[in-house]
Structures are given as C-alpha cells and as structure tokens.
Structure 1
Amino acid sequence: MSAADPSGRQLLVVIDPVARRVDGESTRIARDVLCAGAVAKIALPSGPEEIVRALARRGRRRTVVIGDDRALLRIVGLLHRRRELAEAPLAWVPVGALPAVSVARVLGVPLGAVAAARAVLDGSERQLGLLCDDGGGVVLGGLWVPAGASSCGAPAVRGEGAPGGARGVPSGDGHQPWWSPAARTARTALTLLAGPAGRHPLPGAARLRVEADGVLLADLDRPVGRVAVAAVDGLAEVVVHQRACDHPVRARAHTVTVSGPDFRYRADNRIRGPVRVRTWTALPEAWRLTLPRPQPPGVTSPAS
C-alpha cells in the first residue's frame, strides 16, 4: 500500500491467478503503477471463494481487476448476482494474449499494462449497458448464434462507435473472435459481424426462432446463418442473417429470445450451451467502468 495518496483514491486490486501465471511481468508492472498512484490494497485470490471474500471487504474502494476477459466477467457476474453491480465502480488492466482479452478491445480498455494502469488512475468513469440471460449469465461485449458461425468472414467496416473510426477485418480461420482487434465498442463489434451476407458465405444453416420483444424475426421454417446481439444505447440490438436473403433483419428491443433444437452460442468469445431456448435482456447503465479520457481532436493516443 502506498504511503501517501493526495487525491484520496483507494483501490482494491484483485490479481487473477491466471494473470500471475501467464504474464507475471505485466502483472507486476500494473501493480507497481497502481500502487505508486493510489492507496491500493492487493488481493491475490486463489479461487472463487477468496474473490467473494475480497469483494465483501472492499468497502468504498474501487475494484481493479488484473486479468483476462474471464477474470472481469467473473467479478461482474458475481456483483450482478449479488445486486451490487450498479453501485460498485470497476476498472480493468487486461493481462493475456488475444483472444483472451478480446472484450477489452471492444470496451476500449488499453491492452498494454502501463497504459491500462494509467487509465485506471487518470481515466473517467462511464456507465455501460450489458445483456443478462435467463440462466444468470452476463454479456459485456456481444454474442452470436450459433457458435459455429465463427468461420464466416466480415468485410472491413468503419466502426460507428470506435474512436477515430477504427477499422477491422475479422479473419475467416475460425480462431479470431467475432469482433476484430480494432473494434472498440459493442456497436462496432455488431457492425463488423453484421456485414453483407451476400459477399461472404455463411456456415451451415441453423433452424432457429428469433423474437425481439415478442415480435417474430425468424422462424424454424427459414434457415438462419447467424444471429448477433449486443447492448447498444440501452437496448439489445439484434441482427439476423437468413440464408435466403442478402439483407439482414435488424431490430432493437428490451429482450431477445432465441429457441430451436439444441444450439450453442458464443458470448464474449466463450462458447455456451447447448440450450433449447435462451432469453437475453438489455440492462442500460448497469455497470460502471473507468476508461481512458477522450483525446482532444488532433491528439494521437499513445499505443496500447
């Protein structure tokens, strides 16, 4: 813990065990930067129970997660289930290689240890939306159905929500996450995924029924190539690509339900299921994350 903190900032730094094992150097650097700039209490949990205890004792400290996507999702999910997420400010220093930190690129969190730690200290807090499902899960970046749709490519698209109009071209090798490394927001991720289906062959069709706030977008009698859902502007934005149609069906709704024969889906680059029905609900301004402050026009951000 640092001896002085003139700004009055107090942090609970939760260092994921996977981060310590995978990249101990970046983990140490991030910890040192945070401890030099704020009063930091360090937690080194070895399992879920110790994470629960650390969060229960956080008091008024802002929780900083050092780890990959799963580390952040674990804490966000825990706070959501305890109904404490809206009142628990979070910050994140991603540690790990792509695609293990793909959600960080979607949210706009720097990937470099020093840049991310400085953003924790000097950034600004933003309220973000998310998707929660009827099984208790949360989705921060976005999801698509079926999981096998990862083999499809999407054209380069100017990201609508990306700083500076970032561009990205997801590969078609099935290994890159459905958002490109240049994508910075859920809207950008959704835009990349929802590229014109006519230019890029879709994988095997799935028999799915898709409803948005009870309105039918696709039914079992029309094969679906892929369905993408992301939290955008407080609602769930859904894009449905049907095999027989070049133009996707788009809608915004509070809830999106997908049903059909056992299917798997990919949420925040993790495969879930199989399930026969799943409903996602958009929660606007559901959580608070510290992000880098917007750069003035003409100022180039340091490399992450």
Structure 2
Amino acid sequence: MATFATSEQLLVIIDPAARQADGESVRIAKDVLSAGAAAKVCLPDGPEEFARALGRRGSRRPVVVGDDRALVRAVTLLHRARELAGCGLSVVPVGETALARSLGVPGGAVAAARTVLDGAERRLDLLVDDGDGVVLGTLGIPPEPMRAPAAEPVAAVSGRTWYRSLVRTLAPRPPRLSAIPAPRPSRLRVEVDGKTVVDLGQPVAAVSVTPGTGGLARVEVRPLSLGAEATPLRVCGRTVTVAGTDFRYRADSGVSGPVRRRTWRVVEGAWGLVLPAGA
C-alpha cells in the first residue's frame, strides 16, 4: 500500500447531492482537508462539471466528497479515460454510502478526512463488463426488491430543471414510497471461465458476483428446485457470462438492463482507494 505526504496537493470535488444531503459534514470535511494539505476545492453544479473537474486535476490527488453514486461516477470516468491505473482515489462519504463503507472507508466526516491525509492507497480488483461499465462492489441478478420514491414534480426554472430533479432523486431524504414487486424466478445461463454453472432449463432465484482478490470473482447462484430454493452454487473465476431473456441487474448503486447477454471480467488491482493505514 502506497502512503501519501500531507504536503501533496489535493483536488476536493464536492458532489452537489452531498451539499444538499448533509451540509455540515461537507463543511467539516472541507475544513479538515484544507487544514492538513494544500487543497483546491471544486463545487460542480452537475455531472458534466464533475467530469471536467476530475479530468483537469493535473498532479492533484482527487478526493470525492459524496455518496456511492459519486464514487462510482469517478471510477467510471477514470476507467473510460484509461487513467484509472495511475490515479488513487480518496472518498469522504456523505449520503447513501453503504458501498464506500463496505470497501473500508470510515463513515464519519472527520475520520474519513483524516484517512485522506494519513491513509494508504490499496489496489482493488474491479469488474468490467462488455459495455465498458464497472462494478466496485456486488453485482446482483435480478435486482433485489426495493421501494422507490414516487415521481416528484419540479418547477421549470431555466435549463437547470433536469439537474435539480437528479439531485432530488439522489438526496437521502424521506420520500413518498411505492412498492416494486419482487422479481420472479429467472431462467439464465451462467458461465464462469467458459464452463456452465447453471443452464436455461434450471430456474434461479438470484445470481451475485463480487470482485474478490487475486483477479478472481466470487459467484453465487441460488437455483430453485420444485418451487423451493436449493443449495447455492459457489464458484470463482476471471470471467462471468450471463445470458437469458431480457434480464436486469443491479451494479453497485444503479440498475441496468434489460439485456439478453452480458459478460464481466475481473481486472486485478485495477483501481486504488485510500484506506486507513494498516487496513
């Protein structure tokens, strides 16, 4: 794990959803980072400005202050620019941050900001699909049942209406909820490193894929047998291909699809995340 000197320059990108969700945590993080290092603070108004700020970071080490969506956005941008291998990311989680915490990032603003200053970069494996999408945490097929916020109208105010709607969608505040039905059993063909784990004739309750260590993904298939869930099938491999009829999947904080076929491959040590030293 690579360590960093506090004299290193930082580019602190504060996601707009974080500013709306918890302005106090954002302020604390900014104060700690500015006191401990030469920090340039960037306040993008939307995804395009977020991307421009990250792309113009120069020699500054990027720090994302935001939720899991902001973290995934940063990794995706760096991956698609083919700059991920040489850029270690730091995160101060604000908002919905289950993914960041599962990766080892401290939850509190002070502890996370101190980790940015005193922590060490750890190289992590990444799942990359054949559409150039990335998965940092767990991939789930089909998406788990969830409760989603009902649509909320936004008054039309100049050209910012679409972005204000996006920020409201991301902000973790009490929404009006509507139930999404539980997914039905799927018929999928799951192949790991070219070998069939389950075929279309066997209905499955769920499939999960998680990047592990050493360039291998952990795959779990939960088949159904006579209407009851059977013993899960667990395998490891470097490539995972799933095929079926119009299936959806959850990758980190977003749902994608429907697709009929998708392949994910593990890229070993693809990206760096600054974690507490010794983690």
Looking at both structures, which has the greater relative contact order when contacts are Cα pairs under 8 Å and sequence separation is at least 6?
2
Q: Which amino acid letter does the alignment assign opposite residue 281 of structure 1? A: R
Which residue, out of 188, 210, 228, partners 2:190? 210
Cα distance in 2 between the residues matched to 1:69 and 1:89: 17
In terms of mean alpha carbon deviation, does 239-248 or 137-146 score higher?
Answer: 239-248
Provide structure 1 residue ranges, at least 5 long, that are not aligned to the other structure.
1-5, 152-173, 176-201, 296-304
User: Contact conserved, 1:223 with 1:243, CA < 8 A, in 2?
Assistant: yes
Residues 109-128 of structure 1 mapped to structure 2, 5 A cutoff: 109-128=105-124
Q: By percentage of residues, which structure has more strand?
A: 2
The answer to whether structure 1 residue 52 and structure 2 residue 44 are counterparts is no
User: Contact conserved, 1:231 with 1:237, CA < 8 A, in 2?
Assistant: yes
User: Contact conserved, 2:6 with 2:117, CA < 8 A, in 1?
Assistant: no
Q: RMSD of the alignment, in Å?
A: 1.8
1:203 offset after TM fit, Å?
6.2
Aligned-partner SS, 2:48: helix
Cα distance in 2 between the residues matched to 1:105 and 1:49: 26
1:292 offset after TM fit, Å?
1.0
In terms of mean alpha carbon deviation, does 132-141 or 6-15 score higher?
Answer: 6-15
Which residue, out of 208, 229, 233, partners 1:249? 233
Residues 39-188 of structure 1 mapped to structure 2, 5 A cutoff: 39-96=38-95, 100-147=96-143, 150-151=144-145, 174=146
| Deviation readout 1:219-248 (Å, 9 max, x if unpaired) | 110001111101111212211111126322
User: Contact conserved, 1:27 with 1:95, CA < 8 A, in 2?
Assistant: yes
TM-score by length of 1: 0.75
Aligned-partner SS, 1:87: coil
| Percent identical residues | 58
Provide structure 2 residue ranges, at least 5 long, that are not aligned to the other structure.
148-181
Which residue is equivalent to 2:28?
29
User: Contact conserved, 2:106 with 2:112, CA < 8 A, in 1?
Assistant: yes
| Deviation readout 1:173-218 (Å, 9 max, x if unpaired) | x46xxxxxxxxxxxxxxxxxxxxxxxxxx96311111011110011
Q: How many aligned residue pairs are there?
A: 238
Residues 287-302 of structure 1 mapped to structure 2, 5 A cutoff: 287-294=271-278
Cα distance in 2 between the residues matched to 1:56 and 1:139: 21
Task: List 4+ stretches of structure 1 deviating above 6 A.
Answer: none
Cα distance in 2 between the residues matched to 1:7 and 1:217: 49
User: Contact conserved, 1:102 with 1:269, CA < 8 A, in 2?
Assistant: no
1:50 offset after TM fit, Å?
1.7
User: Contact conserved, 2:10 with 2:39, CA < 8 A, in 1?
Assistant: yes
Aligned-partner SS, 1:207: strand
